[in-house]
Structure 1
Amino acid sequence: MENLSPNESPGSINFNDSCFRQLDVTRKWTRFLSVVGFVFLVFMAVFFLVALTQFFGGGNWFQVLTIVPLVLMGAVYFFPIYFLSKFSYHSKLALNTFSGESLATALRYLKLHYVYMGVLLIIVIFGYLVAFVGMMTMSGLDVSDVLKTPSMY
């Protein structure tokens, strides 16, 4: 077992000044990224509203349905920005008050951000695989022939 100083207890982590500086720099960058992301979402919402009023005025429902991917993209894009913003807020609170609870909350939001991005990546890769198989099927190629390794004979 390690030798613990009188200030330390088993299961605790002590942060030095370097840790606080690194967390503060990370907090500032996540705040910047979340603000830029929210501004982008506002632009997307304005574009959506302009496009909706323009297309809806004509009564062509096909044009209105072309806006659906934009709405989905905005909804998907919102959550990682929100999680970064909450991480930035709670880490600032933790740095100002030296609150372990605020730091735990901040790290929970950072974890949510990365879990969300990981799940999104898995979904995108699966979508690419489905599109690849679909293109091979539609082109008349047998997918199993494409995936086979070439033989030496």
Structure 2
Amino acid sequence: MEDNTSQSTGSEQIELSKYTIYQLKEIGNWTKFLGIAGFIFVGLLVILAFFMGSFMSKINPTTPFPSFVFTFIYLMMALIYFFPILFLFKFSMNLRRSLSSNDPAQMDSAFSNLNAHYKYIGILAIIILVIYGLFGGMMLAFGMMNGFPTGSYT
């Protein structure tokens, strides 16, 4: 049996060693596990969304928000979290199929899903950093408008 598997990528060819194939199989197993765990987490978020509104209104009846606001927030969190998990799970499934059938098209699809996963996570990170920056800037502006506390707190 040969030590390398040849994969064609357009005009280039990549040789995958047995060790690399073994590592890719391990990656496929772990990403499948993370995908399934992520789907379970998203499912729990959806279930929790429908209980959180009534739960929060019972804990603090004077809350200024209607109970559906909490439900909406949890559903949005589940929706945001769903897509990177879906891309990761699709990567795992296509990678495993590609390695078992030696199909370059499946490998292309696998890495396309991995690319989508990291692109989504990267864009989400940028959005979160911008939101942090906006809130930090607003806090700084409000602090400057109201005057920073001077003097001792003792």
Contact 1:90 1:106 in 2 (8 A): yes
Q: Give the Å deviation of 1:21.
A: 0.6
4+ runs of 1 displaced by more than 3 Å? 7-10, 51-56
CA distance in 1, matches of 2:66, 2:85: 31
Contact 1:84 1:113 in 2 (8 A): yes
SS at 2:13 equivalent: coil
SS at 1:87 equivalent: helix
Q: 1:70 to 1:103 in 2, by over 3 A?
A: same
* Corresponding residue number in structure 2 for 1:12: 13
CA distance in 2, matches of 1:8, 1:135: 54
CA distance in 2, matches of 1:64, 1:8: 52
The residue identity in structure 1 corresponding to 2:29 is K
* Corresponding residue number in structure 1 for 2:141: 137
Contact 1:87 1:106 in 2 (8 A): yes
SS at 2:15 equivalent: coil
* Corresponding residue number in structure 2 for 1:27: 28
Q: Give the Å deviation of 1:66.
A: 2.7
Q: TM-score, normalised by structure 2?
A: 0.77
SS at 1:131 equivalent: helix
* Corresponding residue number in structure 2 for 1:99: 103
* Corresponding residue number in structure 2 for 1:47: 48
Unaligned residue ranges in structure 2 (runs of 5+): 1-5, 58-63, 147-154
CA distance in 1, matches of 2:111, 2:49: 33
Contact 1:55 1:64 in 2 (8 A): no
Q: Give the Å deviation of 1:118.
A: 0.5
Between 25-34 and 64-73, the greater mean CA deviation after superposition: 64-73
Q: TM-score, normalised by structure 1?
A: 0.78
CA distance in 2, matches of 1:8, 1:99: 9
Q: 1:66 to 1:8 in 2, by over 3 A?
A: closer
Pairwise CA RMSD:
2.6
* Corresponding residue number in structure 2 for 1:120: 124
- Aligned pairs, number: 134
Identity of aligned residues (%): 26
Between 24-33 and 41-50, the greater mean CA deviation after superposition: 41-50
The structure in which a higher percent of residues are strand is 2
Contact 2:54 2:67 in 1 (8 A): no
CA distance in 2, matches of 1:36, 1:105: 22
Between 131-140 and 74-83, the greater mean CA deviation after superposition: 131-140
CA distance in 1, matches of 2:101, 2:23: 17
SS at 1:15 equivalent: strand
CA distance in 2, matches of 1:74, 1:68: 10
